[in-house]
């Protein structure tokens, strides 16, 4: 499983995802068909007491970003029609993740990669070679303190 890759991919889109979370929450708000009362978070109606299972998610009306956000919110069953193979895997992953971590707003951001860590210790020195070519040299930054 490419779980680590997936988390890195997730981090890149987290900023955009956060903006969309509110919209998804509104989209999830449901109304009782009998008395038009807003259902509580668990899908039950405070007036007639009936409990409604969540409606299947309509992916056809979503932008790719909204699809992704919905999938990462764990509200898209992997069996939903219209999902690509990759999206099914992601939907299954996020449903499991949300089930295990109901309080988690987002997956923990991954630690910086080794390359990112290492890049802090290098600076690029650009010089011009004897034939006018550009030469980039990675130099170790001198540690002070
Ligand atoms: Zn009701």
Across residues 35-40, what is the average pLDDT? 83
Cα 50 to middle of ligand 1, angstroms: 6
Query: What is the distance between the alpha carbons of residues 112 and 114, in angstroms, rounded to a whole number?
Result: 7
**pLDDT value of position 94:** 92
Higher pLDDT, 101 or 11: 101
**pLDDT value of position 56:** 61
φ and ψ of 102, to 5 deg: -60, -25
Across residues 112-138, what is the average pLDDT? 81
Rounded to two decimals, the pTM is 0.37
10, containing H or E segment? helix 3-12
**pLDDT value of position 85:** 94
* Tens digits of residue pLDDT in 38-93: 877 777 888 998 877 665 677 888 888 989 988 998 888 888 888 899 999 999 99
Cα 51 to middle of ligand 1, angstroms: 8
Range among 14-18, 86-90, 107-111 with highest mean pLDDT value? 86-90
Cα 42 to middle of ligand 1, angstroms: 13
Bridge partners of 40, per DSSP, are none
Cα 62 to middle of ligand 1, angstroms: 28
C-alpha angle 87/65/30, rounded to 5°?
85
Query: What is the distance between the alpha carbons of residues 37 and 48, in angstroms, rounded to a whole number?
Result: 9
pLDDT at 116 over 80: no
Which of 83, 35, 36 has its CA nearest to residue 56? 83
Residue 9 neighbours by CB distance under 10 Å: 13
Residue 109 pLDDT level (bands cut at 50, 70, 90): low
Tell me the residues surrounding ligand 1 (ion) with CB < 5 Å: 32, 34-35, 45, 47-48
Query: What is the distance between the alpha carbons of residues 143 and 10, in angstroms, rounded to a whole number?
Result: 33
Cβ atoms of 52 and 32 within 8 Å: the answer is: yes
pLDDT at 27 over 50: no
Domain ranges of the chain: 3-100
């Amino acid at each position: 499983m490419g779980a680590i890759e997936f988390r890195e991919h997730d981090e890149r889109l987290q900023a955009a995802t956060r903006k969309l979370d509110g919209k998804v929450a509104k989209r999830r708000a449901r109304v009782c068909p009998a008395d038009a009362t807003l259902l509580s978070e668990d899908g039950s109606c405070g007036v007639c007491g009936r409990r409604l299972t969540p409606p299947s998610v309509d992916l056809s009306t979503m932008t790719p970003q909204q699809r992704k956000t919905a999938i990462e919110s764990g509200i898209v069953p992997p069996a939903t029609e219209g999902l690509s193979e990759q999206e099914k895997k992601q939907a299954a992953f996020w449903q499991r993740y949300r089930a295990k971590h109901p309080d988690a707003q987002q997956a923990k951001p991954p630690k910086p990669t080794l390359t990112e860590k290492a890049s802090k210790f290098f600076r690029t020195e650009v010089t011009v070679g004897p034939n006018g070519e550009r030469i980039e040299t990675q130099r170790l930054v001198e540690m002070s303190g």
